[in-house]
Amino acid sequence: MKYVFGALKKIRIARPVCAAAAAALLLSGILTSARESAIFTPKDGRPVLIVAHRGVSKFAPQNTIPATEKAIKMGLDFVEIDVRTTKDGRLVLMHNESVDGTTDGKGLIKDLTLEEIKKLDAGYKFRQKFKGTRVPTIEEYYAAANGRINTYLDWKDATPEALADAIIKAGAIETTLIYGGSEELRAIRKIDPRFMVMTECDSELILRSVESSKLKLDAMASNVESFNPEVAALAHKLGMKTFIDIQTSADNCSGVKKQISIGADAVQTDNPDMVLKCLAPKKPEVQ
C-alpha cells in the first residue's frame, strides 16, 4: 500500500486521517466511545491480534472464500476484506476497482452486474488448483466467516445503507470492525450506533485533535513508518485499539515483535503463518 507525506504525518492516499474524522463526527453531534469487545481479545493467549490481509492470500486467491477458510483453519483473529458494489447494487469482495488483476475478465466492478462477475474465474491466475473459484458476495463471505472469525472490513465502494443492511442481516455487527473515512463512518453510525469503526491515525498530533474533540473511535489504523510509543500510549489512553499494517519490509518476526513492543494490539500481515510461528511459545530444551 502506498503512502504519502501530508502536512502532519504519513497518511494513506485514499483515506482521510483521524483529525478529519474527528471534526466531521464532532460536527454531526455523534460522539462515540470505544468498547471492550470479544473481537479485541487475541486467541490462544497471544500478545497481539493477527489480521490476514485479504484473507490468507499467500495460500489462496485474495478476497475469496478459500482465503477466508484458510484463515479460519489457521486460527487467526481477523480476515481483512475489501467491499465494492456491482452495477446492479450487489456487494462483492474485491480490492481493485476492476476485475482485471485477479480474474479472467475485464472491466470496472461498478460497470458489471453480479451475474457477469459470477461467471469470472477468480482463482486461475493464482494457482491451477483454485481454477473456478468465484468472486464472493458479502452474503457468501459472512455465511462462511461469521461466528468463526472476525472481520476487518475495508469500505471501498458501497452505500452506508447497503453495507449496514448486509452486516445486520448476517448478524455480524459484533464481529465486524469497519475501516473507512469520516463521512462513511458518520453515516453508518447514524444507521446503528452499535457499529464498531476505525480510521487512519498516524501521529500523536492527530490523536491529540481527537482528544480535544472528545471523540473516541473503537480503533485506529497506522503503518510501521508512523507508529511509535507516543502514538500507542495516547491511542490507548483514548480507548482505541491499535491496528498496524506490517505488509512491507517489516512483515517478518522481528517486525512483529517490534510492533508489539511499541504497543500494537493487532498486526495486519501477508504472512500469518510466519506470525503464528513467531509468537508460538518456545519449547523447553531437553536436558
Identify the active-site residue in 95, 134, 189, 216.
95
Tell me, yes or no, if 53 is annotated catalytic. yes
Q: Residue 51 burial (CB < 10 Å; 0-12/13-18/19+)?
A: buried
Query: Beta strand pairing status for 219-223 and 150-155?
Result: unpaired
pLDDT of residue 207: 75
In a domain, 39, yes or no: no
Determine contact, residues 135/118, Cβ cutoff 8 Å.
yes
Q: pLDDT category, 165, cuts 50, 70, 90? A: very high
In a domain, 213, yes or no: yes
Beta bridge partners of 93: 83
Digit-coded pLDDT (tens) for 134-161: 999 999 999 999 999 999 999 999 999 9
Digit-coded pLDDT (tens) for 39-74: 999 999 999 999 999 999 999 999 999 999 999 999
Digit-coded pLDDT (tens) for 81-103: 999 999 999 999 999 999 999 99
Determine contact, residues 139/118, Cβ cutoff 8 Å.
no
Q: pLDDT category, 37, cuts 50, 70, 90? A: confident
Using the predicted structure, report yes or no on whether residue 30 has a pLDDT greater than 70: no
In a domain, 105, yes or no: yes
Cell 502536512 found at: 7
pLDDT of residue 206: 78
- Inter-CA distances, 150 with 18, 139, 173, Å: 23, 15, 10
What gap in Å lies between CA 10 and CA 2, rounded to an integer? 10
In a domain, 232, yes or no: yes
Identify the active-site residue in 53, 54, 84, 216.
53
Q: Lowest mean pLDDT: which of 124-128, 164-168, 180-184?
A: 180-184
Kind plus residue range of the DSSP H or E element containing 233: helix 229-237
Q: Please state whether 17 falls in left (phi above 0), alpha (psi between -120 and 50) or beta.
A: beta
What gap in Å lies between CA 179 and CA 219, rounded to an integer? 9
Q: pLDDT category, 278, cuts 50, 70, 90? A: very high
Digit-coded pLDDT (tens) for 171-185: 999 999 999 987 788
Considering the chain, what is the average pLDDT of its residues? 87
pTM of the entire predicted model:
0.88
The residue ranking higher by pLDDT, 178 or 212, is: 178
**If we measure between CA atoms, which residue out of 26, 2, 40, 28 comes closest to residue 220?**
40
What gap in Å lies between CA 256 and CA 253, rounded to an integer? 5
Mean pLDDT calculated for residue range 265-280: 97
Is the Cα torsion angle 268, 31, 4, 224 positive or negative in sign?
negative
C-alpha cell at 254: 522481528
In a domain, 43, yes or no: no
Percent of residues, the chain, with pLDDT higher than 70: 83
pLDDT of residue 202: 82
In a domain, 121, yes or no: yes
**If we measure between CA atoms, which residue out of 59, 15, 9 comes closest to residue 269?**
59
Using the predicted structure, report yes or no on whether residue 28 has a pLDDT greater than 60: no
> Domains in the chain: how many in total?
1
Tell me, yes or no, if 236 is annotated catalytic. no
Using the predicted structure, report yes or no on whether residue 276 has a pLDDT greater than 50: yes
CATH of the domain at 8: 3.20.20.190
Which amino acid would we find at residue 18? C
Using the predicted structure, report yes or no on whether residue 33 has a pLDDT greater than 80: no
Q: pLDDT category, 217, cuts 50, 70, 90? A: confident
Using the predicted structure, report yes or no on whether residue 187 has a pLDDT greater than 50: yes
Determine contact, residues 268/46, Cβ cutoff 8 Å.
no
Using the predicted structure, report yes or no on whether residue 270 has a pLDDT greater than 80: yes
Mean pLDDT calculated for residue range 101-107: 96
Domain extent for 97: 3-34+48-279
What gap in Å lies between CA 133 and CA 104, rounded to an integer? 11
What gap in Å lies between CA 113 and CA 145, rounded to an integer? 24
